Amino acid sequence: MAQQQEHQSDNDTENEDENPDDTSPLSKGEIFEVLRNQRRRYVLQYLKQDGRPIELGDLAQQVAAWEYETTLDDVTPEQRKRVYTTLQQTHLPKMDRSGILEFDSDAGVIEATDRTRDISIYLEIVPGHEFAWRELYLSLGAISSALVAALWLEIYPLTMLSDLSWAGIIAVTFTLTAAVHIYHERNMRLGYGEQPPELSYGSDDPGKR
């Protein structure tokens, strides 16, 4: 699976149009264009975790570990080289031109910019299986409407509770659902208190982060 993800990551970059350097704020379309690639998302994640300038070699080692779902020590030279090459030749230059990071190709050093830190404010990474919140709210609305109609028709056993009790139940249900939705969205923001799932490998060893 990791090998398939690697090929997809590389193929995504073959026909991409490069944007000229621009000091104006990036649009959402430009952000999604840069970050629709998993390997570039991992770069951003690593930058936001460390907060300091990072060496290209260290970055390639960590990204390869995440992609191949292994530890840093178990990354093979071939795996590291594949990631290193595409980062150096394609991904990092593209992100540098967008101002999302600064890449010194001569020194092999990557640094965060203001856009790196601000990107999570207006961009959320959508997971592969996003929960259908709109459908949930629509269903809750339909159920609530049906419940109100049943109470108006005085259908048993719904009449065992008062109208005020049912109103309270509906209000609490919508409030709790909205609270869970807000919590979910905050946790899905890039760099918001979470790490790529692959970090579970060797996460107990600080030296492997």
pLDDT, tens only, 98-142: 888 899 989 999 998 878 776 755 444 444 444 567 788 889 999
Q: Which residue has the tokens 């490998």?
A: 201
Same domain, 197 and 182: no
Supply the range of the domain harboring residue 87.
Answer: 2-125+193-208
| Mean per-residue pLDDT, 29-33 | 75
Beta-carbon contacts of residue 158 (< 8 Å; ≥ 6 apart)? 147, 150, 151, 166
What's the CA gap between 196 and 91, in Å, rounded?
A: 18
- Three-state secondary structure call for residue 166: helix
Same domain, 24 and 111: yes
Q: What's the structural domain count of the chain?
A: 2
- pLDDT for 186 equals 64
| Mean per-residue pLDDT, 36-54 | 83
What's the CA gap between 89 and 95, in Å, rounded?
A: 11
Same domain, 63 and 153: no
- pLDDT for 128 equals 41
Q: Model confidence over 140-178: pLDDT tens digits?
A: 999 999 999 998 998 988 889 998 999 999 999 999 999
Same domain, 10 and 49: yes
Same domain, 27 and 48: yes
- pLDDT for 193 equals 46
What is the overall mean pLDDT for the chain? 76
Q: Model confidence over 55-79: pLDDT tens digits?
A: 999 999 999 999 998 999 999 999 9
Q: According to the 3-state scheme, what is the secondary structure of 86-148?
A: HHHHHHHHHHHHCCCEEEECCCCEEEECHHHHHHHHHCECCCCCCCCHHHHHHHHHHHHHHHH
Same domain, 85 and 139: no
Same domain, 38 and 139: no
Angle at 187 between CA 40 and CA 123, to 5 degrees: 45
Angle at 40 between CA 35 and CA 44, to 5 degrees: 90
pTM (whole model) above 0.95 = no
What's the CA gap between 26 and 57, in Å, rounded?
A: 28
Same domain, 90 and 145: no
- pLDDT for 183 equals 78
Same domain, 145 and 119: no
Same domain, 167 and 120: no
Same domain, 59 and 152: no
Same domain, 37 and 13: yes
